Amino acid sequence: MPLVNLVIVESPAKARTLKAYLGDGFRVEASVGHVRDLPRRGLGVDVERGFEPEYETIEGKGPVLKKLGTAARGADSILLATDPDREGEAIAFHIVEALSGGNHEFRRRFRRITFNEITKSAVLEAIDRPGEIDLPRIEAQQARRILDRLVGYKLSPLLWKKIKAGLSAGRVQSVAVRLLVERERQRRAFRSGTWWSLRAHLAADGRSFTADLATLEGVTIATGRDFDERTGRVKPRRKVVLLDEARAEALRAALADETFTVSELREKRSKRSPYPPFTTATLQQEANRKLNLGARETMRIAQALYEAGRITYMRTDSVTLSEAAIQAIRSRVERRYGAEYLSPQPRRYRTKSRSAQEAHEAIRPAGVEMPTATELGLAGRQKALYDLIWRRATATQMADARLRHLSVHVEAGDAQFRAKGKVIEFPGFFRAYVEGSDDPDTALEDREVALPDMREGQDLSCRKLESRRGETKPPARYTDAALVKELEADGIGRPSTYASIISTVLDRGYAVRQNKQLIPTFIAFAVTGLLEDHFPNLVDTGFTAEMEGALDEIARGKVDWRSYLEGFYNGSDGLEARLEDRQAAIDPREASTVRLGNLTPRVRIGRYGPFLEMEREGGRLTAPVPDGVAPADLSEEQALELLEKRAEGPDRLGEDPDSGEAIYIMDGRFGPYVQRGEAAAKGAKPKRASLPRNVRPEDLTLATALKLLSMPATLGEHPEDGEPVKVGIGRYGPYVVHRSDYRSLEDGDDPLGITFERAMALLAVPKRRGRRAAAEPLRTLGEHPEDGAPLAIYKGRYGPYVKHGRLNASLPKGVEPEDVTVPLALELLRKRRERDAAKQGTGRRGPARRKASGK
């Protein structure tokens, strides 16, 4: 029989690429991510036995392991070709553990191979040089996983008791949240400063340019950098002139008749060298700035490019390039741009970080051909991201850009104006790459500021003199790019974790993303405050960076992982002792109070979200904080107005002529609404209805309110079955409905004035959108072997899921839709069916009731 070499990878996409490179003697199978992990429920770590992890097979991976085991037993050699980082090493390790089952003879047949790019030459070279699994790397990954579990499992219940149920803490997540909270605190403490200046529109020999007021009587004019952001005033001991509007206007009038003369010309030349090639962090930052991609989306696209053999491994903190890559890039530069654009000597970059893995390369196009995105036939976001990587790598071997800077001083009376110009004399690497721009040619034009030729002593023509108001701006909130940059600079997290950190912060409600900004929520403030007061090490960037450094030392085999965990968890200063000490000391009322400066009312976290609270005249006023209000933007005036409105009670529009009950207009967390009758302490809630977008509370009449409260209102009977066609306003906006067949109203449709004919026209359009619309599957797997019904994967609110008829099953963490096979889908559906049956048999709280009744 011919030899069979089994190659195991973690991704079906990667498996398909390898199959194209390897011959008939190879069989390539995918584990579809991790196969074993700590249990989803419970600690899963035996802290009494040296922090021994209690691994179990991940739900749905039984058929995958069975298939891998069958293939392994029939193979002559087994090569583990998972990714070349700690997570890849861990996947390989757990595959061996799961398949060998303690059989040491069988275990010896497994060999480890790694490659930094999925090209034929790299893969074949790795197969010729197999090695062993790197156990110190496994221990580092395991220690990280256990640390995260200890912190999350032990701290999260404390947050449930002291602040709000359902909250979570995380070893790195909590530090990232604190960074967002600290920036929001700075924005809240910020006080704006205002200054005025003058701008002269000048011309030399008919060519126009502008110059700004720089000094007055030899003293510098105040600008934004001269202000204290905490007071909004000029910093002490700053020798500057602060102009207000009146003085700026007076100066403008005084200079109207003055002659503007060139008093000094300064010229200097500079060079700009290209940036290093991409690491994971810099790729995420630039993709966010240039392509508007979040960190998670960037990594998803990069993973697909890597597995297709288009780029090198995308989780790296190294900026080194192989000699073969350098020569390939230089050859491409010379062919595409010309020899004059080639750097005189090859550029070799070295990583400064001690934790960087120099065995990895920077992110670059795979292979030695350096094809462009167009030559590869890429499209969409894959094309955009690959092009970004291609340009950055290409620029590394290009010549410096040469620039000429010109500074012009213009005097008019006691005032001096300045203008600055810049000319790109030789673009060099700018031809391929300009940071922050996705179009280098356009960026070159934008970077040039041309000034006319002038000479000292030359009189200029002043065509216009205008006063201009300036105002200091608060510190910018973090974007994905800025947060990744900060985490990297602080030594927090590693290339494989940046995207997941941000995703976790967003998914767990500690921040929202608006216009690329990451805005912390009030809950983030409360959790951060509790951790700062009682567990300061866990949100300290220095302490967290030291933990990352210790994990790196474990990976190098220099630190024992069990000893490190022992020191972190046990002992007088360990996490367990700290938890026991602080449990009783934390006051839930204080912990659920958000500390905001410059605000008289308190913000507290309640069961239904943040609310305002204030004592007045022996009573207690409360009001919900409206959705969408950021902690830094909640002003004293707004908070007091919300409380006053709540104290005054709802505006009474009149009475319902049928029931005699009062009709009120009220403000809620989700906007204004109308209500019929009073809300009782217990019993049924009064009838309520949201206001349509085109109705303002101040314009609302009793007749309109009654019409809203009558919804869903019947417009007429459907001609086919006589069933009513109704119009209503729901959680997702106004709609029309006929027998559970819903259609959203379109822009311009008024739910208060829609006609039966218009409703019928909307119902006649095939359903394409909406919660109940038949969604398009992300991927169709095939037919179910039992009934022939389709098996497909859909996008859900909480992530992708597999669907068969009415039965849905979520994909396990780390499993992408393209990785799912029919056996895996059937296993997930079977497990879901068993859980549903168990719930129906006992009831969700059945065991607890039986125990209580027994007593």
State the pairing for strand pair 77-80/5-9. parallel
Q: Is 170 exposed, middle or buried (0-12, 13-18, 19+ CB in 10 A)?
A: buried
CA 812 to chain centroid, in Å, comes to 21
Q: Is 713 exposed, middle or buried (0-12, 13-18, 19+ CB in 10 A)?
A: middle
- Is-contact 259 297, C-beta < 8 A? no
Pick the closest to residue 702 from 756, 669, 747, 661 (CA basis): 661
Pick the closest to residue 112 from 8, 28, 33, 3 (CA basis): 8
DSSP structure class, residue 326: H
Pick the closest to residue 258 from 213, 205, 219, 223 (CA basis): 213
CA atoms within 13 A on the CB side of 55: 14
Pick the closest to residue 316 from 276, 343, 345 (CA basis): 276
How far apart are alpha carbons 823 and 492 in whole angstroms? 39
Q: Is 810 exposed, middle or buried (0-12, 13-18, 19+ CB in 10 A)?
A: middle
Q: Can you read off the two tokens belonging to residue 289?
A: 């700035």
Percent helix, strand, coil in the chain, to 5, is 40, 25, 35
Report CA-CA distances (Å) from 642 to 184, 624, 645: 22, 8, 5
Pick the closest to residue 316 from 95, 88, 149 (CA basis): 88
State the pairing for strand pair 26-30/5-9. parallel
Q: Can you read off the two tokens belonging to residue 63?
A: 């058929």
Report CA-CA distances (Å) from 297 to 118, 374, 480, 820: 21, 22, 11, 19
DSSP alpha helix (H) spans, 656-709: 702-709
Q: Residue-wise over 743-770: b if at least 16 C-beta within 10 A, else e?
A: bbbeeebebbebeeebbbebbeeeeeee
Annotated catalytic residue 313? yes
- Is-contact 271 402, C-beta < 8 A? yes
How far apart are alpha carbons 307 and 310 in whole angstroms? 7
State the pairing for strand pair 227-228/219-221. unpaired
Phi, psi of 331 (to 5 degrees): -65, -40
DSSP alpha helix (H) spans, 353-495: 373-376, 380-395, 440-447, 480-489
Residues making up the chain, counted from first to last: 855
How far apart are alpha carbons 40 and 59 in whole angstroms? 10
Give strand pairing partners of 137. none
E-assigned strands of 273-325? none
How far apart are alpha carbons 70 and 80 in whole angstroms? 16
Could you say which of 55, 275, 313, 608 is catalytic? 313
Q: Is 831 exposed, middle or buried (0-12, 13-18, 19+ CB in 10 A)?
A: middle
How far apart are alpha carbons 260 and 606 in whole angstroms? 65
Q: Can you read off the two tokens belonging to residue 753?
A: 């004035």
Query: Which residue's entry shows tokens 């417009």?
Result: 715
Phi, psi of 793 (to 5 degrees): -110, 130
Annotated active-site positions, please? 313
